[in-house]
Amino acid sequence: MMSQSTGCFSWLDNKTKNSGRGLVLGALNSSGNRSILTQPALLLRYCVPLLFGVFLWNLPAPEAMDIRGWQMMTIFLSTLLGVMVMPLPMSAVTFFGMAALGLTQTLTLKQALSGYSEPITWLIVLAFFISNGFIKTGLGLRIAFCFMRLLGKKTITLGYGVALTDAVLAPAMPSQTARAGAVVYPIMRSIAEVYDSYPGNPSARRMGTFLTLVVFHANAITSGMFLTGAIKSVLSSGFPVLIPVTISP
């Protein structure tokens, strides 16, 4: 344990010896990058969401909105801006936004965390864990070879196979993002790369562009085919509790 700690501090010292600032700035480094104190652009990305929130917070609330609603919108917009400029990973920015809700007493801690009690939220998280498993274990590549063996005679049949995969998953996975981005996308990308079609270069137009458009349109269709095909449909099914309407099965 002691040797691991010594090695860690030696690594930090080596990273920062050129700047002469020692371990203090080394502890502020992330993934080998320089400290935020030596990067004005990165420091600006930290300050912009905070200054934007302070500016909106001190503005008077519109007549049609109470003060608490205005404060919630201010924190939401500041958090959204933080996600866009990304001074930190999205999860960390979201955590700071939720902390701001509690520290300003805009919402209680129970109200701020109530969204995490929804099973759908954890279903999305689980789907993205599955996505990482597809990529790291090579399962996506194996499924791609199965698609190629069964449907790989023509490009259009590969498109049918990807669309059918989305349709099969739609009733059991009520999230467009999780289904298309976390499960179908790794398979689609593996198939495209087998055909030497890689994103970010001209080869993407061989197979990748076609399959991406197929996944996009198939996902939009399957989301409307089933009540459990998208989060918005599942959540809207609870509206009759508040609004006197009837949703037929």
- Greatest extent of the chain over all pairs of C-alpha atoms, in Å: 70
Q: Give residue 16's pLDDT band: very low, low, confident or very high (50, 70, 90).
A: very low
- Residues 123-163: tens digit of each pLDDT: 767 766 776 676 678 776 677 677 777 877 788 888 888 88
- Residues 61-94: tens digit of each pLDDT: 888 888 888 998 999 999 999 988 888 888 888 8
